[in-house]
Amino acid sequence: MNANKPKILVLGAGYAGMMTTKRLSQQLRPDEADITLVNKHNYHYLTTWLHEVAAGTATPNSSRVMISDVINTKRVQLHFDSVVKINKDEKRVLLENGELSYDYLVIALGFETATFGIPGIKEHALKIENINSSRHIRDHIEFQFARYSSGAEKSEDALTILVGGAGFTGIEFVGELAKRVPELCIEYNIEREKVRIINVEAAPAILPGFEDDLVEYAQKSLEERGIEFRIGAKIQECTEEGFIIGDDHEVIKAGTVVWTGGVQASPVVKDSGFELVKGKVNVDHDLRVPGHDHIFIIGDCSWVMDKENDRPYPANAQSAIQEAETCASNVKALLRNEELQDFAFDYKGTVASLGGSDAMGTILDDKKLYGIKAKAMKNIIDDRYLYLVGGPKLVLKKGKVKLT
């Protein structure tokens, strides 16, 4: 590290942090700045694949990419540690095992689960947050099957899998369960009819943001494969036994309870004195924090407003990757005293997997896809990110579109 060169510090190696670091290392000359990427682990995981790990339809390693395999370590210093707090006034970041200074800071620390104040969710529900938590869900489900099969557990409630939230993650998770549960039933010699997969959602429909015919297709597909839906049923409380739902306080008992209801910014952001609105920081259109010209916040930690519609852009992997492009460009512009650009989300469509070879969604000019065609497009979308971050080599190693 050169003490005379500006220091760029990127916190977090999720989609936003990885792509920002990648672009900075490509767009800046070595003499312009020193770049450091801080991350808790030495690997990057594909958050949008974690539901597969949790269901047991994919291995943990399939969703993991070693950071040093895709980031040029000759241009970027990798620092593996946990961020504790950001000192904005002194331009320093406190880590568990030291501290780092910066001239330009990119905060891309990802999310923690939002409970929306529902009692018991934090204490009793499992959550799809990272590779380890997803692997724990997979192991817990299989353990319930093993206990019942061995006779150690007599109640069929132990075989019930209860999923709170019918947004993107919740629906993709139950879709994978629809594929995995029949396999577990065969393996543990349990009748499929004894296993219940119940999805609970307070809203009047699943998959908010999708058009009615796409939602209808998704729900019908999942119901035909044994998924039960409780729509318009608010979760009043989560207990050790399951959910208490609705105005009549119905009790649904389950051996496995998973919450997928929503996300909010990493607690480090709030602990560092940034103002949060509905769990995230409102940033300016150029992705900087108001009042802090050298700090950018992107990904799941921030809201970026759509100027035309006066509402935030969607917070998903697609927008995080695009924010990273704008963020890297604007850091470069600050270094070179050039004009910064505003972020504009380029919607390329959204496809939700429904498990196995089924999916549905829209692409480009709202063209609707269903079934195998939609699943193929979903795989292409996933592989496009692998290409952006790691090139053809990573696509061949981790990609979902198989060449024959």
Cα separation of 61 and 169, whole Å?
20
Cα separation of 99 and 240, whole Å?
40
Distance from chain centroid for Cα 94:
25
User: Which of 112, 118, 353, 355 is CA-nearest to residue 233?
Assistant: 118
CB 227 within 8 A of CB 199: yes
CA angle 259, 261, 267 (to 5 degrees): 90
Per DSSP, the three-state class of 37 is: strand
User: Which of 169, 107, 157, 167 is CA-nearest to residue 133?
Assistant: 169
Catalytic residue among 96, 153, 156, 172: 172
CB 239 within 8 A of CB 109: no
Cα separation of 76 and 42, whole Å?
14
172 is an active site residue: yes
Which active-site residues does the annotation give? 172
